[in-house]
Amino acid sequence: MNLPNKLTIFRIILIPVIILVYLFPYESFGIVPACFNIGGIDLSIIQVIALVIYVVAAITDALDGNIARSRNLITTFGKFADPIADKLLTTTMFLLFVSQGIIPVVPVIIMIARDTVVDGCRMMAASNGKVVAAGMMGKLKTVFQMITVALILLNNLPFALLNLPVSDIMLWLSALVSFVSGVQYFNQMKDDIMESI
């Protein structure tokens, strides 16, 4: 297994680690996680640890693609696993936030629905021997989502100190960009999808 694929596997392994760190019942075991207060904004050590793990996972996302392209190590497994790892990572984080009542469910539903449509389009394309390349909006969606997750884990710091709801804005922007990129993917495959109607 080459290095890019190992990084992708490592990113997938980090997902249950983040879930465990984030949802572990610390108080049931008599553990009281430290909490920092920054300008009146509370930030738990659990959020900081989850953020560090998430950033490491996000870095592997950037690294595996760059290494694969620069060293000509692109594989079928990499093409399959890399986008799945990305979606698992961001979707898991958003679902964790929803489960804790931190963010509304609607933008998350939009993003998950978009991913479902895109995956369907890609399967359709593969069955017809076509490749649907990731568009600029799709890449922008990933960047927006990663920034949004980091801001939510930081309780919107440093913007919360200025009473600017940047994490909320980024969440809805992520949903909007997800929707637009999903429409773009669908339009690319529209003729193939509609041919049997």
For residue 190, which of 116, 138, 136, 182 has the smallest C-alpha distance? Answer: 182
pLDDT (0 to 100) of residue 184: 84
The average pLDDT across 42-57 equals 94
Q: Distance (Å, rounded) from C-alpha 60 to C-alpha 10?
A: 8
Helix, strand, coil percent values for the chain (each to nearest 5): 75, 5, 20
Place of tokens 């996972």: 57
For residue 2, which of 67, 66, 62, 58 has the smallest C-alpha distance? Answer: 67
Confidence of residue 126 (pLDDT cuts 50, 70, 90): low
Q: pTM for the complete prediction? A: 0.88
Q: Distance (Å, rounded) from C-alpha 49 to C-alpha 74?
A: 32
pLDDT at 80 over 80: no
Averaged pLDDT of the chain: 87
Confidence of residue 186 (pLDDT cuts 50, 70, 90): confident
CA 62 to chain centre: 13
- Residues linked to residue 42 through DSSP beta bridges, in sequence order: 37
